[in-house]
Amino acid sequence: MAAKTLVGRLVSREHKREDTVVSVRGASVGGPGLTVIAGPCAVESREQVLEAARLVKAAGATILRGGAFKPRTSPYSFQGLGEEGLAYLAEAGEETGLPVVSEVIEASDVPLVSDYVDILQIGSRNMQNYALLRRAGKTNRPVLLKRGLAATLEEWLLAAEYIMDAGNPAVILCERGIRTYETATRNTLDLAAVPVVKAISHLPIIVDPCHASGDSAYVLPLAKAALGAGADGVMVEVHPCPGEALCDGEQSLSPAQFRELMDQVNKMSPVLGRGVVSQ
Ligand code: PEP
Ligand code: MN
C-alpha cells in the first residue's frame, strides 16, 4: 500500500507509470539489464583502485565504486584519501571504461566530487541531510541514495523526493540493510523493500549485500536473493586483498569470490530474463 504522503509526489508510480532508467556513460540502471556495481569500500592507493578496477571489469562489472570521503563510525578510523582518491578512481574508470560512483558527505563538496565521478553516492548516515540532498539535486549527476540506517521506506522515498524536487530526476535507490535487534549480521537486509518500492515508485532499486550482512560469506546468497526479489542490480565491495583493506575488509569479496558472484548471476539471468550490462 502506498504511503499517503507519497501519492502524487515525483517519486511515485502515480506521477510516472513507466520505470525510470538512469543512464550514465554507456551504463544504465533500471532498464531491462542488471547492474553490478563493484569496487573497494575505500580508495586506498592508485595501485589498489587500478587493480580492483581491472579485476571487476574483467569479471563483467557495470560500474566501479570507491569511497574517497568515508563516513566512519570512529573519528580515528581511515577517513579516505579525499580529492586524491577521487583522482585515482577517475583514472581507474577512464582506463577500464567503467563509469564511477563515489560518496559525497558534505553539501559544499558536491561540485568537487561531481568533477570526478559519474554518479554521486549519498550514504545511509546522510540520507536525511536535506542540504546535501538539495545540493546533489542541483547537479546533472545521477544520485545513488542509500537507505538510512533506521529509515522507513516512506522517509527514504521522501529523501529521494528532495533530490528530484531540486531538479534532478536521476535517482537510484540502494537498500543496504537496516538496524534491528538481530546482531548476527551487521544489519538486517530488508528484501521486502524491493517489491514494495517497485510497487510505489518508478525509481530503480539496487541492493548492497555487503553492508547489509557485514560478512563476505553471506554476500553471494543475499545478492542472488535480491535479484530474485526484482532488484535492478547489486552493489558489492571487492578488494584485491580483503585481509589488508583499510575499511570494511570483512565484508569485501576477494577477486575469486567476485568472479563466483558474476558467474552465478550470469547463470541466474535466463530465469530472471535480465542479463548483466557489462561495459
Ligand atoms: C559504503 O558504501 O561504503 C557506505 C559507507 O555505505 P553505507 O552508507 O550504506 O553505510
Ligand atoms: Mn563500506
| Ligand 1 atom 4: residue of nearest CA | 123
Note the pLDDT of residue 7. Answer: 86
Q: Which residues are CB-contacts of 217 (< 8 A; sequence separation ≥ 6)? A: none
Q: Which atom number of ligand 1 is nearest to the Cα of residue 67?
A: 3
Q: Which atom number of ligand 1 is nearest to the Cα of residue 70?
A: 5
Note the pLDDT of residue 96. Answer: 98
Q: Which atom number of ligand 1 is nearest to the Cα of residue 146?
A: 9
Q: What is the CA(42)–ligand 1 centre distance, in A?
A: 10
Q: Which ligand is closest to the CA of 67, given by its number?
A: 1
Residue-wise pLDDT tens digits, 7-65: 889 999 999 999 999 999 989 999 999 999 999 999 999 999 999 999 999 999 999 99
Note the pLDDT of residue 191. Answer: 98
Taking 90 as the threshold, does the pLDDT of residue 93 lie above it?
yes
Note the pLDDT of residue 107. Answer: 98
Name the grid cell of 163: 533530490
Taking 70 as the threshold, does the pLDDT of residue 1 lie above it?
no
> What percent of the chain lies above the pLDDT cut of 70?
99
Of the pLDDT bands very low, low, confident and very high (cuts 50, 70, 90), residue 5 is confident
Cell 566512519 found at: 72
Residue-wise pLDDT tens digits, 223-261: 999 999 999 999 999 999 999 999 999 999 999 999 999
CATH code linked to domain 3-71+78-268: 3.20.20.70
64-79: average pLDDT: 96
157-166: average pLDDT: 98
Pocket lined around ligand 1, Cβ cut-off 6 Å:
41, 67, 71, 123-125, 146, 176, 211
Note the pLDDT of residue 2. Answer: 56
Mean pLDDT of the residues in the chain: 97
Residue 264 and residue 261: Cα distance in Å, rounded? Answer: 5
The region, left, alpha or beta by phi > 0 then psi within -120 to 50, assigned to residue 214 is left
- Going by C-alpha positions, the residue among 230, 170, 171 that lies closest to residue 198 is 230
| Ligand 2 ion: Cβ-proximal residues, 5 Å cutoff | 41, 248
Name the grid cell of 105: 558527505
Q: What is the CA(215)–ligand 2 centre distance, in A?
A: 11
134-141: average pLDDT: 98
Q: What is the CA(84)–ligand 1 centre distance, in A?
A: 20
Q: Which atom number of ligand 1 is nearest to the Cα of residue 247?
A: 3
Q: What is the CA(270)–ligand 1 centre distance, in A?
A: 30
